[in-house]
Amino acid sequence: MTDNNPITKTVHFFDKLEDKIRERLSRTPILYAFIGGVGIVLFWRGVWHIADGFEGAGGIFSLIIGSIILLLTGAFVSTLIGNRIILTGLRGEKKLAEKTREELESEESELKNIQKTLLKVEEHLTAIEKELPHEKK
């Protein structure tokens, strides 16, 4: 079933375009970071100019409204601190910048071992599923 809705077509077009751009830019991370940084600055510049349009509102009003929006959307903590910092703090881990090469290699090795184990478990589950009699619906 195809959807001829122009909005759906437009969203689909931009979704595919985004995928292609991200794929190309991921090959040049410094350029990707630069373009992303410019986009973020221009976005916030626009927000700033819109906020300036609220004459007489003042900084306190902006702070309160902004905080409410961030709290209601669940983005307050992750926006201001970041999830990774919170998780590493809860786990008692070092920040990524503080880790040594050996620690990073050790973590990578552990992740590869976990991935291998998961693949084995998946293979075993597939084999068990094949052995079980299937009920007819």
Q: Which amino acid is at 5?
A: N
Which one, of 104, 102, 45, 13, lies nearest residue 37 by Cα?
45
What are the pLDDT digits (tens) for 35-57?
888 888 887 888 888 877 777 66
- Which residues are CB-contacts of 76 (< 8 A; sequence separation ≥ 6)? 67, 70
Half-sphere exposure of 116 (CA within 13 A, CB side): 6
Q: Please give the Cα distance from 56 to 38 (Å, whole number).
A: 30
Q: What is the pLDDT of residues 62-72, one digit of tens each?
A: 778 877 887 77
Q: pTM of the full predicted structure?
A: 0.45
